Amino acid sequence: MQMAAPFFSPPPLCNSQLRSETNRPNWLISPTPFKTSTLSTRRLVCKPPSGKHVREDYLVKKLSATEIQELVKGERNVPLIIDFYATWCGPCILMAQELEMLAVEYESNALIVKVDTDDEYEFAQDMQVRGLPTVYFISPDPNKDAIRAEGLIPIQMMRDIIDNDM
Amino acid sequence: MRSLQASTSYTTSLSSAVPSVANYSPRTLHHRHVISAKGEPTEKSVEIMRKFSEQYARRSGTYFCVDKSVTSVVIKGLADHKDTLGAPLCPCRHYDDKAAEAVQGFWNCPCVPMRERKECHCMLFLTTDNDFAGQDQAISLEEIKETTAGM
């Protein structure tokens, strides 16, 4: 089986050779025949992902104090995780990465949101936020207490809280 | 110095949570100056805090994080507070009154927990037993700019 060396701009000569020699589908080439006339047609190296998690923006959304309060008061059947952060807080970056991973893992089984404490100053004050990042885990069950974690915590600890304590 | 007039009417749980709210006149509550650390710090302040961080890491025997973006973000946060407040207040905390805290000094970098116990929750100065501690006690201005580009 002939391997095409340059993936994205093969010379026309190679294409005709490839088409005539390969009867089986070549994993380098997409199922549709490669047009020699148009070099702009993309060659697919592999099957593209389904697009489930390919987004331009982040999964963890930034919300205002009013929106958070509506979420807390409203009907919910999944845990709510609130991340209080600040623009120039270093560990908040690592926490945000962990929470993005959790958002991908849990999908719609957990609702993860973030609050900029510089924007929502009074809300952060009322929630007794001191060290950053501070994460609140709020169960859908109103009888259960909320869990609050200050500082960077390992992702496994967060999984345990969501799975066992919510 | 940038400051924002906070004219929010958010008062639902203030009376129960904050015992000193009775001392505030309504005028104070509605027109409190809120100093926000949202803009880009000046290059001069970033350079000052960069040099300070390198010197203090050497002096205290601590190291920067393996992930230099954490170090860069904290240095920029310190620089931003130095620009807005006149002192490098710790950027990894939320304060009731930033200006008062900057004057008081407990959380001015290097903060008291760092000076006394080498505890830096910003992950700027890490002791060798910390899993996140790297090998470096130096960081260049280019590295800071690269790792915080787009923030």
Of the candidates A142, A123, A73, A88, which has an alpha carbon nearest to the alpha carbon of residue B13?
A: A123
**Are B91 and A84 a contacting pair at CB < 8 A?**
no
The DSSP element (H or E) to which A61 belongs, if any, is strand A61-62
The pLDDT value recorded for residue A57 is 74
Q: Which of B17, B78, B93 sits opposite A132 (nearest CB)?
A: B93
CB within 8 Å: B18 and A125: yes
Please tell me the predicted confidence (pLDDT) of residue A166.
Answer: 82
Residue contact A87–B151, C-beta within 8 A: yes
Q: Do B6 and A86 touch (CB under 8 A)?
A: no
B76: which residues sit within 8 A by CB, 6+ positions away?
A: A88, B40, B41, B46, B49, B144, B148
> According to DSSP H, which parts of chain A are helical?
12-21, 65-73, 90-106, 121-126, 155-164
d(CA A75, CA B42): 46
Q: With CB atoms and an 8 Å threshold, state whether A93 touches B73.
A: yes
- Cross-strand bridge partners of residue A27: none
Q: Which residues of A are catalytic?
A: 89, 92
Q: Which residues of chain A have pLDDT under 70?
A: 1-44, 46-56
Structure confidence at residue B151 as a pLDDT band (50, 70, 90): confident
Closest CA to B35 of B92, B75, B76, B94: B94
| B65, B67, B121 ranked by CB distance to A151: nearest | B121
Q: Calculate how close chain A gets to B122, using CA atoms only, in Å.
A: 6
With b meaning 16 or more CB within 10 Å and e meaning fewer, what string describes A114-153?
Answer: bbbbbbbbbbbbbbebebbbbbbbbbeeeeeeebebeebe
pLDDT, tens digit (0-9, with 9 covering 90-100), for B88-144: 999 999 999 999 999 999 999 999 999 999 999 999 999 999 999 999 999 999 999
Nearest CA in chain B to A85: B92
B17-51 pLDDT per residue, tens? 444 444 444 444 445 556 655 678 999 999 999 99
The domains found in chain B, sorted by start residue, are 43-148 (3.90.460.10)
Comparison of pLDDT for A142 and B57, the residue scoring more = B57
- Mutation for testing the B interface, residue in A64, A83, A87, A88 having most B CBs under 10 Å: A88
| Segment A88-134, tens digit of pLDDT | 999 999 999 999 999 999 999 999 999 999 999 999 999 999 999 99
How far apart (Å, rounded) are the C-alpha atoms in residues A99 and A93?
10
B-chain residue closest to A89, CA distance? B92
**ipTM summary value:** 0.75
User: Which tokens sit at A110?
Assistant: 């957990």
Looking at beta carbons, which residues of chain A come within 8 Å of B77?
86-90
